[in-house]
Structure 1
Amino acid sequence: MTRQSISLTKKNDEWLKNQISEDEFNSKSEAINYLIKQARSQEEYYDFVRVKIEKGEKSGFSQKTKDELLDEIKGNLKL
């Protein structure tokens, strides 16, 4: 693992210490790595959603009614 030196605001340092004292994490490093992993996952999700939105926008407007669209969606669900 790469070793880093970072500076934290007082509030963030207190939050980290609190997380460790409540046994949420074993160390500040563990907490920071968890937070970075969460941020990366969120970024991947946003990228996924962005691609889906762009694909939808490029496909144009549907001529189907609301009921037709709902029936199509329900038909595609695997229940």
Structure 2
Amino acid sequence: MRSTQQFSVTLPNEMAAQVRAKVASGEYASESEVIRDGLRALQARDRAVESWLRNEALPAYDAYKADPQRGLSLDEVKAGLAKRHERAARRD
């Protein structure tokens, strides 16, 4: 039994050119390898988002629901972001 399946994929011209350029540069041996690597990157991103949701976002939400006083007002969030932005701008 085959462990692969053949697909026909239609890409916008710009993406098709990117795929061809990756192969032409020698970075990949075939167009299929480029597509497979792209799908692996998508899977990794999906796993990272799922992990973040499970390990950070949901626990933070649960903690907030258990004690809403832990939450910040919109003004507090805006002030905190403004301070972060100011510090980052000074570093540049």
Query: By the TM > 0.5 criterion, same fold?
Result: yes
Task: Report which structure shows greater RCO (CA 8 Å, sep ≥6).
Answer: 1
Structure 1 CA distance for aligned equivalents of residues 11 and 5 of structure 2: 18
* Structure 1 residue 24: Cα displacement: 1.1
Amino acid at match of 1:7: T
Structure 2 CA distance for aligned equivalents of residues 59 and 14 of structure 1: 48
Q: Which runs of 4+ in 1 moved over 3 A?
A: none
Q: Which ranges in structure 1 are unaligned for 5 or more consecutive residues? A: 62-79
Q: Which ranges in structure 2 are unaligned for 5 or more consecutive residues? A: 65-69, 71-92
Q: Does 1:29 align with 2:32?
A: yes
* TM-score normalised to structure 1 length: 0.71
Amino acid at match of 1:4: F
Identity of aligned residues (%): 11
Q: Deviations over 1:10-50 (max 9, x none)?
A: 11111111101111111000000000010011011001101
Structure 1 or 2: more helix by fraction: 2
Structure 2 CA distance for aligned equivalents of residues 12 and 20 of structure 1: 13
Cα RMSD after superposing both structures = 1.5
Aligned partner of residue 59 in structure 1, secondary structure: helix
Q: Does 1:50 align with 2:53?
A: yes
Aligned partner of residue 9 in structure 2, secondary structure: coil
Structure 1 CA distance for aligned equivalents of residues 31 and 19 of structure 2: 6
